Structure 1
């Protein structure tokens, strides 16, 4: 994927360089803002420079917006991953069940010898 991206950027750069070299010639007037005395605030630039400047003026705000959205989504994904990681760790390391009291342990031991033995004959007949 990186190869395709690099190839596209090389093609765009070659196109811009070709456009600028073909249109480099007489400077053109660019009227930026009219002044209070009726004159215009203007620059005289070659057409290639004008194209590059106005292309960047259009692309930079869009690029900044894209980077902001990407940053926001990466923060959201990281937050959700941390929440899942926290929940899985808390379920794995939950508190052990309470241990039985010594009185219950002694009673269970005396019953275990008779109640749980299936090999002894049943005296209830």
Structure 2
């Protein structure tokens, strides 16, 4: 499985390199005022990708961290409750036995 991961990343790097060499052009960007910045197209695309990806990644990591903290706190409180709990009565009570008078006898009454 590790070989497939390495193969995938190598293939992705190769595609990125081919894209970069095929699109190595200078792109003028109008900044505030009359300033113009000339930026390579691949660099501009990487910068825009990171500009959109990083806030999402940071939000996802923060939410995951927050959920881990809540889970740890819930596990600790559950362990505390289990340690302090008294043994509970059984949920199902044993079936009541019939009194001896209500038990039918094998011999009918009046016959000896």
Give the alignment's Cα RMSD to 1 decimal. 2.9
Q: Hey, which bits of structure 1, 4+ residues long, moved more than 6 A? A: none
1:64 partner SS: helix
For residues 83-122 of structure 1, what are the structure 2 equivalents within 5 Å? 83-91=77-85
Query: Where does structure 1 lack aligned partners over 5 or more consecutive residues?
Result: 94-125
Using the TM superposition, give the Cα deviation of residue 18 of structure 1 relative to its aligned residue in structure 2, in angstroms: 3.0
Higher radius of gyration, 1 or 2: 1
Aligned-partner Cα distance in 1 for 2:49–2:82? 49
Match of 1:79 in 2: 73
Number of positions where the alignment pairs a residue of Structure 1 with one of Structure 2: 86
Q: Specify whether residues 58 and 27 from structure 1 end up closer, same or farther in structure 2 by C-alpha distance, changes over 3 A only.
A: same
Q: Specify whether residues 70 and 53 from structure 1 end up closer, same or farther in structure 2 by C-alpha distance, changes over 3 A only.
A: same
Query: Where does structure 2 lack aligned partners over 5 or more consecutive residues?
Result: 88-112
Using the TM superposition, give the Cα deviation of residue 57 of structure 1 relative to its aligned residue in structure 2, in angstroms: 0.6
Q: State yes or no: 1:49 paired with 2:49.
A: no
Per mean C-alpha deviation after superposition, the further-off stretch among 7-16 and 77-86 is 7-16
